[in-house]
Homo-oligomer: A and B are copies of this chain.
């Protein structure tokens, strides 16, 4: 899921891309200097341009990767045919684990899609899982199993409760005086709390 390979075993091209991912994701597009990336990769700036033409092109690859990793889980979780309440649990567990390993990704994606929408928009595939999820929700609503809710709210509720604690970590841990371990512990607790809250709200009678 993350950069795991020994840096020296990578080709120059891959070293650059790995370094770019690391620096762009941590600092954002504007604050990242091509020299930062070159230094992180242990290569010359010219090599960066040799392989990737420009800072912008390289950034396009990095944010594309980030968006893929980010949305991949959604398709996988909501694409299955297990009960909805299981999907909810899977989603929360999976994304909390993912964000624990990639803590800078949420702010990176959200701030870049606000500040550089032209670079991000083309990469966002307008729906794919939405039709399926919509159908699933509508069926459960008609059967009287869950309350009426639009897919947008359903989706926003889950992602909000899962991703926002990572986005707000610097502020919250400061404001609440929480150490990194405290915060990590709290996030573990949310693997139970968040699904319970959503299911509790959604289901008219508790599911199996």
Min C-beta distance of A4 to chain B, whole Å: 23
A1 within 8 A of B: no
In the complex, the answer to whether A176 meets B107 with C-beta atoms within 8 Å is no
Min C-beta distance of A182 to chain B, whole Å: 9
In the complex, the answer to whether B120 meets A152 with C-beta atoms within 8 Å is no
User: Is chain A's interface secondary structure helix, strand, loop, or mixed overall?
Assistant: helix
In the complex, A165→B167 CA distance in Å?
13
Q: Which residues of B contact A27 (CB under 8 A)?
A: 30, 115
In the complex, the answer to whether B107 meets A114 with C-beta atoms within 8 Å is yes
Quickly give the copy total for this chain. Answer: 2
In the complex, the answer to whether A175 meets B113 with C-beta atoms within 8 Å is no
For chain A, residues 26 to 64, give those with C-beta under 8 angstroms from any C-beta of chain B: 26-31
In the complex, the answer to whether A109 meets B171 with C-beta atoms within 8 Å is yes
A3 within 8 A of B: no
From B130, B171, B177, B186, contact of A153 by CB (8 A): B186
In the complex, the answer to whether A168 meets B110 with C-beta atoms within 8 Å is yes
In the complex, the answer to whether A160 meets B164 with C-beta atoms within 8 Å is yes
